[in-house]
Structure 1
Amino acid sequence: MGWGKIPMTPGQKLRHALASEKVVFAPLTLDALTGRIAERAGFSAGYISGGALGFAHGVSEALLTLTEIADVTQHVTARTDIAVIVDGGVGFGDAVHTTRTIQVVEAAGAAGIEIEDQVAPKRVSHHRGIEHLIEIGEMTDKIRAAVGARSDSDFVIIARTGAVRNESFEKAIERGNAYADAGADLVMLMPTNETEWQEAPRRIGVPLATITSLDTRLPTEWATLGWDLIIDPFTAQTAAVNAISAAYQQFRHSGTTGLDRHEISAHYRLLPDIAGFQELYEIEDRTTEKPS
């Protein structure tokens, strides 16, 4: 009897995607349903955004708990095969808090985590563009703690810096290389002009990630620039909010949503298939719904 193929760990899935795809795109996967939609569309990775989760809960990302983030992560990883990247914010504190954050998120089935260099606790005002960064040494301590906390060496640590906007591009390069030296597998930053987008991949010694919408550039353009991971926490949630808002407001204004009810019914009937009910039907067909 031959040996079966050993399945990849979540971290290995993400590393395989980064190694085999010219650019990896990770759209928002805030629940299992959107995760499965992303997987069906052909994405190899998904992203659980703290900002988007905060909006969904009606609070700031700064007020989310590790338990809430881990719970969402488990829902997505249990029902998809994509590599799930989790927004770990500031790691919920210092190096000790970051250690537990890594352990909990990895245990929830994530492939990797993003940790950023803002102060802890994170301020609500970061939504207004007001950010306060910690010193490089404090952040490198947190990265080393994160690296040491993972049980699978393939679990991906992404170090995010807000230095481009809050200090300077040169400081972002300095921080990025320091974070790479501390063990970060990828560095995330958000350049503000074309020169910075071009220079960053040449000046930071590990693969680069950024946060933007899927439509910012074509995949070939990202590949030419040398960026590796493009994360989009915006498109899915804003598209859903816009569609829901339009339907609800239209109904309150005119007594109808303006949507085709037959089309709505048809799409609703697709949800069990997207959610993966077929395997559950098969179990019931063999047991509780078995013909007598």
Structure 2
Amino acid sequence: MDNLARAAFRRRVENEGPLMIPHCPDALTARLCEELGFDGGYLGGGGLGLSLAVSEALLTTTELAQTAAAIRRRSALPLVVDGGVGFGDAVHVTRMVWDLESAGVHAIELEDQVAPKRASHHRHVEHLVPVEVMLGKIRAAVAARRDPDLLLIARTGAVQNESFDAAVERCEAYLGAGADVVMLLPENAEQRAAAPLRLSGPVALLTSFDLHTPGEWAELGYSLVIDPVTGQTAAFSALRDAYREQRSGRPSARPAAESFAVFGQMQDLAGFEDLYAIERVTTEPGT
């Protein structure tokens, strides 16, 4: 990818927040987000683990990097990728950064849970590593990147496992080790408002966009607001409802003509017309 694109994204994160980053599991969704004018897309480990029905804990570096590369291949949308715990210790983090940077991502998130990651993370059972262990991973990630504009986001689960104050302390230490952005997980509106005020660097948040209006998000002071939930749950709910109706012998709520129309729109969004144009020139009779 063009390193200028990463530099431009970094400048926006540092100067323009909040950038609104929705769930983005594939290239088609990335192209939709790009068309709608979102600031970027989020390839979350939780979302990818659900799609593959294996949990985030059982993802591999290869699966994550290949998915990221497929998105970036067909979209210029800035991509933030959840690297989880880095798939191991500091040397495994190094490999992850190599692979994700080569895939063309703009930012990598790294969190301070134990490695290998545990599936029970999804039911809010987490085990944090000591601060020193996470600092080593962050330093390894900083050293591994070739493009200094590749953003490194250090995430802590300390709010839920220790305290809000402890989470702030961890985030400050992570910034000192070279993280470009930090992320904690506030438990209430008071903590959500306090986090950007308490921290000395850019702050990202995992949440639902629907918690606040755009104006309210702007006032809170976050650099990145990431919604990993709304898109995936909305898509799954619509799919489940339609299939239930059809399996019960009833038509889905969407008329067949509308479904075929949307199918055509999806082909347009995917950029198929460019492929059709090549075939018209190279393979159709008389050309």
TM-score of the alignment, normalized to the shorter chain, above 0.5:
yes
Q: In the superposition, relative to structure 1, how do residues 95 and 28 fare at CA in structure 2: closer, same or farther (>3 Å)?
A: same
Give ranges in structure 2 of 5+ residues lacking alignment. none
Counterpart among 48, 54, 64 of residue 43 in structure 2: 48
Superposed CA deviations along residues 153-193 of structure 1, whole A, max 9, x for unmatched, are 00000000000011100100100000000000000111112
Alignment pair present for 1:137 and 2:132: yes
Matched residue, 1:247: 242
Matched residue, 1:3: none
Runs of 4+ residues deviating >6 angstroms: none
3-state secondary structure, aligned to 1:25 = strand
Matched residue, 1:108: 103
Identical positions, percent = 48
Q: In the superposition, relative to structure 1, how do residues 175 and 19 fare at CA in structure 2: closer, same or farther (>3 Å)?
A: closer
Q: How many residues align?
A: 287
Matched residue, 2:151: 156
Counterpart among 165, 190, 194 of residue 195 in structure 1: 190
The farther-off stretch of 249-258 and 171-180 is 249-258
Alignment pair present for 1:64 and 2:59: yes
Alignment pair present for 1:263 and 2:264: no
Shift of 1:258: 3.1
The letter of the residue matching 1:273 is D
| 8 A contact 1:28–1:235 mirrored in 2 | yes
Alignment pair present for 1:97 and 2:81: no
Structure 2: how far apart are the matches of 1:120 and 1:7?
Answer: 33
The letter of the residue matching 1:241 is F
Shift of 1:7: 5.0
Matched residue, 1:77: 72
Matched residue, 2:267: 272
Structure 1: how far apart are the matches of 2:204 and 2:17?
Answer: 13
Matched residue, 2:31: 36
3-state secondary structure, aligned to 1:257 = coil
| 8 A contact 1:10–1:110 mirrored in 2 | no
Q: In the superposition, relative to structure 1, how do residues 150 and 7 fare at CA in structure 2: closer, same or farther (>3 Å)?
A: closer
| 8 A contact 2:22–2:231 mirrored in 1 | yes
Alignment of 1:168-183 (within 5 A): 168-183=163-178
Q: In the superposition, relative to structure 1, how do residues 48 and 163 fare at CA in structure 2: closer, same or farther (>3 Å)?
A: same
Give ranges in structure 1 of 5+ residues lacking alignment. 1-5
RMSD over aligned CA atoms reads 1.5
Shift of 1:288: 1.7
The letter of the residue matching 1:117 is D
The farther-off stretch of 78-87 and 282-291 is 282-291
Matched residue, 1:281: 276
Shift of 1:197: 1.9
Matched residue, 1:119: 114
Structure 1: how far apart are the matches of 2:173 and 2:14?
Answer: 23
Alignment of 1:220-231 (within 5 A): 220-231=215-226
The letter of the residue matching 1:11 is R
Shift of 1:270: 1.1
Alignment pair present for 1:218 and 2:218: no
